[in-house]
Amino acid sequence: MVLLSRVNEPRTLWLLRGYLTLVALAWVVQRYADLPLTSKLVDALVLACSLALAILWQGELRRLMELLGTGRLDVLFGSRRADQLASGSVAVLSEAAGRLSQLRRGGLIVLDLGSDLRPEDFLNPGIALDAQLSVDLVLNLFAQDTPLHDGAVLVKDNRILSAGVILPLSRHQGLNRYGTRHLAALGITERFDRCLCIVVSEETGTLSLARQGRLERPITSSRLQELLSAAVVKSSTKAGGKGSVKPAAKAAANPAPLLPSASGRSVSADSPDRHP
């Protein structure tokens, strides 16, 4: 039941349900049917499906082992509260991303909405700041003449916790059309479902949002604000249940789930960014 509650992708849920059904069928055949050959065939099929799922879900299994090894069961079971973004912070992030896009200045902003990100979750934890979130500060952190512009900015509880953070890259195949920043955004959101990542391409100024290993691009700053507000509402609903929703919940006029290529048109991939 815990596994089923933690699966968000419908196709993944169908695969898991089919696998559990096959396991149940194998148990019934072994328990009640006196069919040795059929039992062996079903066991072989279960084994083959287990190996196939292990290959398909190698990233998820690795993440599970990491959580078990560090004892972070609250993240595994989703019992940790959702860290809310105030409506003002959503507006600040949207405006800052829009201005970075206009300036064609590369940017990577990680939003922790309850994943409890720790320094060991990054390749490099960067420089601790714990500063008030503002448009000017975000623009300064991603200025090309600053030492922190290559990495990501970590935002949590409406504050900038650190800058210059180096994120793990996605290991999925077929993503070579994306730049390093986009691969880093996909990599961190694949491992943490309560984590969003705003990406601004340095080459084209394209604005993107990554969530749960999926990338929506290109989007405008107003569309980004809608997606962030909807994500905050969804995160608070999952974690809080009865808790009240902060003003960010009212900021989205038409909340929509984050889906890949939700803009309705395909866009040619930009050349890889020079910096992570």
Structure tokens, 92: 């600040």
pLDDT at 213: 85
Mean pLDDT of the chain: 77
Q: Kindly tell me if the per-residue pLDDT of 270 is higher than 60.
A: no
pLDDT at 222: 92
pLDDT at 235: 65
Q: How far is CA 262 from CA 7, 8, 114, 167, 234, in A?
A: 21, 18, 25, 25, 18
Higher-pLDDT residue of 101 and 259 is 101
pLDDT at 201: 92
Q: What is the DSSP letter of 248?
A: G
Confidence of residue 259 (pLDDT cuts 50, 70, 90): very low
Residues 6+ apart with CB under 8 A from 251: 87, 90, 91, 225, 226, 229
Residue type (1 letter), 131: A
Q: Kindly tell me if the per-residue pLDDT of 220 is higher than 70.
A: yes
pLDDT at 30: 82
Per-residue pLDDT tens over the stretch 59-106: 667 666 766 776 665 555 554 444 556 678 899 999 999 999 999 999
pLDDT at 212: 85
Per-residue pLDDT tens over the stretch 182-217: 999 998 998 888 899 999 998 889 999 999 888 998
Please give the angle made by the CA atoms of 135, 138 and 140, to the nearest 5 degrees: 110
pLDDT at 219: 93
Higher-pLDDT residue of 43 and 76 is 43
Residues 6+ apart with CB under 8 A from 81: 114, 239, 240, 243
Higher-pLDDT residue of 114 and 184 is 184
- Cα 235 to its chain centre, rounded Å, is 12
pLDDT at 251: 37
pLDDT at 276: 42
pLDDT at 238: 57
CB-based contact 259:214 (threshold 8 Å):
yes
CATH class of 87-250: alpha beta
pLDDT at 200: 94
Q: Would you kindly state where each structural domain of the chain is located, as residue ranges? A: 7-77, 87-250
CB-CB neighbours of 34 under 10 Å: 8
Average pLDDT on 30-58 reads 82
Q: Kindly tell me if the per-residue pLDDT of 171 is higher than 80.
A: no
Helix axis angle, 58-70 to 36-56, nearest 10° = 80
- By CB atoms closer than 10 A (0-12, 13-18, 19+), residue 3 is exposed
